[in-house]
Amino acid sequence: MTAKKVAVLKGGGSLERTVSLRSGARAQAALHRLGHEVIPIDVGPELLAQLHETRPDAAFVAMHGRDGEDGTVQGLLETIGVPYTGSGPAACMRCTDKALAKYLMCEAGIPTPDFTSFKETAVKELGVAAALGDIEHLLGFPMVVKPASQGSALGVKFARSSEELPGAIVGALSYDRKVVIERYVPGRDLAVSVLDSIDESPPAPSAVALPVVEAIPREEDFYNYESRYEIGMTTFVCPAELPEETTARAQQLALEVYRLLGCHGVARVDLMLDERSDELFVLETNVVPGLTETSLLPLAADAAGIDFDELIERILASAFTR
Amino acid sequence: MKVRYLPVMRGQDDRRRGRPAAHELARYEALFAARTRGMKSSAMREMMALTERPDVISLAGGLPDTSTFAPELYAKLMARVAAESTARALQYGPTEGMAATVSCIVEVMASEDTLVDPSDVIVTTGGQQVIDLVCKALIDPGDVIVAEAPTYPGAVPTFSAYQADVEQIEMDADGMPIDALESTLDRLQAQGRRPKFIYTIPNFHNPAGVTMSLARRHRLVEVARERELLILEDNPYGLLRYEGEALPTLYSLDAAAAGRGGASDLVIYLGTFSKILSPGVRLGWAVAPRPVLEKLNLGKQGADLCSSPVTQMFVAAYFQERDANGQATWLQYVERLRDLYRTRRDAMLEALKEHLGGRASWTQPQGGLFVWATLEGGTDTTDLLARCEGVAFVPGRAAYVDGRSGSSSMRLNFAGVPDTDIREGIRRIGRTMGGDTGLLGTLTGRPIAAASATAAPAESDPASQTDERAPLADVVALPRRESQQPARRQRDL
């Protein structure tokens, strides 16, 4: 690729700000090594002014969570005509809203754990309390209660009984106006990253699934759901030690979800391998996967023989293949 | 000496600069000490980082108000250090600290009626370093530390890094109940385990805001002497008392009990200039029994050789300052801080009564920087922080080693921001809680009256709180089941 002027969008005001700053810093370093001109932007009220002023050839989106992953920034970049990396606004919205993604997966026949979802208004104005019994009946305990649009572990609750469910719902609603309540699938945590191959012929670059990563919690603590996502509490294995057909199936599912949700450039699909039935379930899709030293995407790319700089170059290329 | 920079990190196929992650990561992973597994970055701390914005009223920090220190005085003292002692200030100093600084420490402790021998003192880089050095000297992986519940959030990562097994003892309004301590010690003894030390903050506890009663202080020292246990007495706020009689330090009580000319033989005392002068000078100290002191000194040599002579000399110069009447400037400054913080504490307690009355209980600190508030109905304060707009506090979980207990509590700092911000901050917390409690009431099928913003402020004395706690707890657990029972049966058919 010829040298480009690239604005790296990082930070912002989401709960994943710190991780995003680290992702952004690593992307900047790689872009610099690749010979591009880098404009680092810690996203704030000056974002649009900065973009107008600097007129970059492309924006490298390294923002996780709110604004960066939910289509907000992508929509604005479309509006001002700055090409950007990764998925477009609609795909971002489909992935970031876990409820929408799960409904779409259900319609397409892609396995995802049974669930229900509602907004805070349903609690306030529609008397959702009267349906809690139905939810129990449908999903059984334990349940995982999550904010519909959060990427981090914050707000993810484990409800083991009817007594715990209301508190878990209110807790999750602190992070988002919508909540997803999901059947808990005990088993192995898997992640499959999907990357568009460098294909100079837009608009349809072909996507490939990278090797499967397994996240193994260091201390098996069934109820401490949150700690499973904390740095240092989990060991990552890539490629995951799985039967060949399970690996193939996980990669196949990831590609199907990637296409179904309309992702572009890169995404990471998280799955559970049910320990009882050996079935795979898709949990969610992240459109701006982390790029830090401990993130899963660089790990998977590395296992596929794609070093970090090449990974960044390929993500950057996605800005020009839309 | 030749230094080779981490040759082991380089991959053999390191063709490109910055060849990254995965397999190098595996190399790093293999290099990390087992203790780093206990060092975790938590999602809660990420969220705390997010609240460091100008539009957020922060009741979260442990900050004193350094804006009250006169800039002219700061300039004058620094100029004096520069003019009179350039070479010494810019040089290394002794590990145990400079004599002039140690005499300031002796003076501070004397003002708390605690007499110490200057040779029992070691100057440290903040009080925090004392916690680290004490652990370094005493803790092997798996060793037991007994601490209060909640405990100082800043001690938690240190204890974890040394892989200590921390037993926390729940406090009440009079601090750590010593009978509970004794049962814990008995239980440990039955397991053949003996704590290496008891960690306590007797005055205006961080984060709990409570003060250990005189009777408990005496009893704690007795227990320590009976069982030959060390105590780490963390006393950063002792001089910041806004009401009531000053209580003797554990160090002075043990010294009296030891009866050997003034030195305690079981208490390691931790002090700091952070709260009476400035955290920016990074100066604290320990007073310890001689054999322990020697180990602390060796540990400090390995950590940083010595604390900054520049700031040590600044402190020494500051302590020499006198006003026209011969009054010590440092004492006058502490007096001004007391007046300022007393007003702010009162503003916070009033605001709590107005905005959280009947929905929370909180401690009534006689000094220090913190109020510890506990919400009724099991609301998780980490979630509350996420929902609160424009105000920050420390969720209670940070003060528990397991990272889970204390989830309904929060630490509120009243010293760092002006009265108006305190009132507005508490009002914002109350408003957000109202929304949460309302939701919970709706979900559990019974509206919670206290959730209404117009509810009459309840008295916050402990008795009335206990009365209110019971029915609220029931609301969370019980009513919905009744209304759902028929529906479930139908489905089961």
Task: Supply the CATH number for residue B455's domain.
Answer: 3.90.1150.10
Q: Give yes or no for residue B443 having a pLDDT over 80.
A: yes
Contact assessment for residue B396 and residue B170, using Cβ atoms and an 8 Å cutoff: no
- Same domain for B300 and B191? yes
Assign B144 a pLDDT band (cuts: 50, 70, 90): very high
CB contact under 8 A, B439 and A170: yes
- Same domain for B152 and B233? yes
* Catalytic (active site) residue A127: no
- Same domain for B251 and B297? yes
Contact assessment for residue B211 and residue B204, using Cβ atoms and an 8 Å cutoff: yes
Determine the 3-state secondary structure of B170 from DSSP: strand
CA distance B282 to chain A (A): 26
Residue B489 maps to a domain: no
- Of the three residues B289, B320, B351, the one that is the final residue of a domain is B320
Q: In this predicted model, which residue has the larger pLDDT, A263 or B44?
A: A263
Q: Give yes or no for residue B15 having a pLDDT over 70.
A: no
Q: Give yes or no for residue B417 having a pLDDT over 80.
A: yes
Q: Give yes or no for residue B175 having a pLDDT over 50.
A: yes
- Same domain for B293 and B169? yes
Q: Find which of B47, B429, B433 to mutate to test the A interface (most A CBs within 10 Å of its CB).
A: B47
User: In the CATH hierarchy, which fold is given to the domain comprising A5-86?
Assistant: Rossmann fold (3.40.50)
Q: Which two tokens stand for residue A47?
A: 């974002």
- Of the three residues B268, B287, B320, the one that is the final residue of a domain is B320
ipTM above 0.85?
Answer: no
Closest CA to A93 of A82, A104, A83, A85: A104
Residue B66 maps to a domain: no
- Residue ranges making up the domain that contains B407: 332-481
Determine the 3-state secondary structure of B379 from DSSP: coil
Q: Where in chain A is the domain with CATH 3.40.50.20?
A: 5-86
Determine the 3-state secondary structure of B370 from DSSP: strand
- Of the three residues B320, B349, B380, the one that is the final residue of a domain is B320
CATH number at residue B80: 3.40.640.10
The string of pLDDT tens digits covering residues A51-64 is 999 999 999 999 99
Q: Which two tokens stand for residue B170?
A: 């729940």
B-chain CB neighbours of A166 within 8 Å are 440, 443-444, 476, 480
Is A302 in CB contact (< 8 Å) with chain B? yes
Q: What is the pLDDT of residue A51?
A: 96
- What mean pLDDT comes out for the span A203-226? 72
* Catalytic (active site) residue A17: no
Q: Tell me the CATH class for A93-111+186-320.
A: alpha beta
- How many domains does one find in chain B? 2
Q: Which two tokens stand for residue A230?
A: 């904390």
The string of pLDDT tens digits covering residues B374-395 is 998 888 898 898 888 889 999 9
* Catalytic (active site) residue A290: yes
- Same domain for B344 and B425? yes
Q: What is the pLDDT of residue B437?
A: 75
CB contact under 8 A, B480 and A153: no
User: In the CATH hierarchy, which fold is given to the domain comprising A115-183?
Assistant: Dna Ligase; domain 1 (3.30.1490)
Angle (nearest 5°) at CA B434 between B344 and A66: 95
- What mean pLDDT comes out for the span B35-52? 64
Q: Where in chain A is the domain with CATH 3.30.1490.20?
A: 115-183
Q: What is the pLDDT of residue A199?
A: 60
**Please, which residues bridge with residue A8 across strands?**
A40, A60
Q: Which one of A137, A163, A293 has the shortest CB-CB distance to B25?
A: A293
Q: Which one of A170, A294, A302 has the shortest CB-CB distance to B440?
A: A170
Q: What is the DSSP code string of B220-253?
A: HHHHHHHHT-EEEEE-SSTT-B-SS-----HHHH
- Same domain for B439 and B364? yes
Residue tagged active-site, from A37, A114, A160, A229? A229
Residue B13 maps to a domain: no
Q: Give yes or no for residue A196 having a pLDDT over 80.
A: yes
Q: What is the pLDDT of residue B301?
A: 97
Q: Where in chain A is the domain with CATH 3.30.470.20?
A: 93-111+186-320
CB contact under 8 A, A132 and B20: no
Q: What is the pLDDT of residue B85?
A: 93
CB contact under 8 A, B20 and A302: yes
Residue B11 maps to a domain: no
Q: What is the pLDDT of residue A155?
A: 81
Residue tagged active-site, from A290, A295, A314, A318? A290
Three state DSSP letters for chain A: CCCCEEEEEECCCCCCHHHHHHHHHHHHHHHHHCCCEEEEEECCCCHHHHHHHHCCCEEEECCCCCCCCCCHHHHHHHHHCCCECCCCHHHHHHHHCHHHHHHHHHHHCCCCCCEEEEEHHHHHHCCHHHHHHHHHHHHCCCEEEEECCCCCCCCCEEECCCCCHHHHHHHHCCCCCEEEEEECCCEEEEEEEEEECCCCCCCCCCEEECCCEEEEECCCCCCCCHHHHCCCCEEEECCCCCCHHHHHHHHHHHHHHHHHCCCCCEEEEEEEEECCCCCEEEEEEECCCCCCCCCHHHHHHHHCCCCHHHHHHHHHHHHHCC
Q: Give yes or no for residue B29 having a pLDDT over 90.
A: no
B-chain CB neighbours of A226 within 8 Å are 43
Q: What is the pLDDT of residue B464?
A: 39
Residue B239 maps to a domain: yes
Q: How far apart are CA B448 and CA A170, in angstroms?
A: 14
The string of pLDDT tens digits covering residues B290-348 is 999 999 999 999 999 999 999 999 999 999 999 889 999 999 999 999 999 999 999 99
Q: Give yes or no for residue A255 having a pLDDT over 50.
A: yes
**Please, which residues bridge with residue A269 across strands?**
A192, A285
Q: What is the pLDDT of residue B485?
A: 35
CB contact under 8 A, A155 and B383: yes
- Same domain for B358 and B393? yes
Residue of A nearest to B488 (CA): A133
Of the listed ranges A48-62, A294-308, B370-384, B439-453, the least confidently predicted one is B439-453
Q: What are the residues whose beta carbons fall under 8 Å from the beta carbon of B145, sequence distance 6 or more?
A: B135, B139, B159, B164, B165, B166, B167, B195, B196, B197, B198, B199
The string of pLDDT tens digits covering residues A119-171 is 999 998 899 999 999 999 999 999 999 999 876 667 888 899 999 999 899 99
- What mean pLDDT comes out for the span B81-91? 94
Residue B211 maps to a domain: yes
For chain A, give the mean pLDDT.
90
- Same domain for B312 and B364? no
A-chain CB neighbours of B43 within 8 Å are 15, 152-154, 226, 229-230
Of the listed ranges A219-233, B45-59, B256-270, B368-382, the least confidently predicted one is A219-233
- Same domain for B258 and B172? yes
B-chain CB neighbours of A149 within 8 Å are none
Residue B39 maps to a domain: no
Assign A223 a pLDDT band (cuts: 50, 70, 90): very low
Residue B21 maps to a domain: no
